[in-house]
């Protein structure tokens, strides 16, 4: 059992934060991870910046471009977090696109993640059937969870297939749009949350895209195990820097 699976067993709604490695400054990565843990975040998604991030909205795209310009690479990220488990014990997930991982070598990438203490990967452009056929055995070998995204347009049949090959949680995208913060969720999203909840899947769901504050966190977690905040956190850190983390997390959790 890895740290994600252990965390999902806790009797609470989980808050996960996404940030782009190497942003706003190249050496902020470890500081951000440590500060998020200090402030009670349950899980962290470390974004591996990519030049063509199709699923990301303008805020995360811009942070990726800046991080790449800062000099962030896969190798650099691994160097930065080489000793992260000396200070951090919450689950850590790398979110990135398939091409850089493939260039690194998929088994080599997974082996490196396992040696550092990464618990899972989110790869938006890796189709579930390709993963199931070609890569699932590698992930299992290194005790890494692969986390798949579903959207309101994903059929029940596809969701059940994703559930069958998953072993942690399912990333429930709140809308078909790209990432971005919203003030609240509408009726269509609520119906989607209810539909997925009604499927009684074996893996819990964590909602992402559009979570920005206590209201959207509570709406998203009515039917789901937790929620992920990305764009709103990056907006904050762009404006306030690392020193704004304490206040940001407190506002989400406590209002």
Instruction: Find, among 235, 179, 189, the residue nearest to 209 by Cα.
Output: 179
> Across the beta sheet with 92-95, what order do the strands follow?
145-147, 120-122, 92-95, 43-47, 14-20, 226-229, 205-208, 170-173, 149-150
Name residue 46's beta-bridge partners. Answer: 19, 94
Instruction: Find, among 41, 29, 42, 47, the residue nearest to 84 by Cα.
Output: 29
Helix (H) or strand (E) holding 251: helix 245-254
**Which residues are marked as active site?**
45, 56
What is the distance in angstroms between the CA of the first residue and the CA of the last residue of the chain?
A: 33
């Amino acid at each position: 059992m890895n740290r994600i699976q252990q965390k999902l067993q806790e009797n609470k709604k989980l808050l996960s934060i996404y940030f782009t490695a190497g942003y706003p400054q190249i050496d902020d990565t470890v500081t951000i991870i440590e500060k998020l843990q200090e402030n009670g975040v349950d899980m962290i998604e470390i974004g591996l910046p990519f030049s063509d991030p199709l699923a990301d909205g303008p805020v995360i795209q811009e942070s990726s471009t800046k991080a790449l310009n800062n000099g962030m690479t896969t190798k650099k990220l691994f160097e930065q977090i080489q000793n992260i488990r000396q200070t951090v014990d919450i689950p850590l997930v790398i979110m990135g696109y398939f091409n850089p991982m493939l260039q690194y070598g998929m088994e080599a990438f997974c082996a490196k993640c396992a040696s550092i203490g990464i618990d899972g990967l989110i790869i938006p452009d890796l189709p579930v059937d390709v993963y199931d056929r070609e890569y699932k055995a590698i992930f299992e070998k290194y005790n890494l969870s692969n986390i798949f995204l579903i959207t309101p347009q994903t059929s029940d049949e596809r969701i059940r297939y994703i559930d069958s090959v998953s072993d942690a949680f399912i990333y429930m995208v709140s809308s078909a749009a790209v990432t971005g913060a919203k003030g609240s969720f509408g009726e269509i999203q609520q119906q989607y949350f209810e539909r997925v909840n009604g499927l009684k899947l074996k893996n819990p769901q964590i909602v992402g895209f559009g979570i920005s504050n206590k209201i959207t966190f509570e709406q998203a977690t009515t039917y789901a195990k937790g929620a992920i905040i990305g764009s709103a956190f990056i907006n904050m850190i762009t404006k306030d820097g690392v020193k704004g983390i304490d206040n940001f997390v407190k506002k989400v959790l406590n209002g």
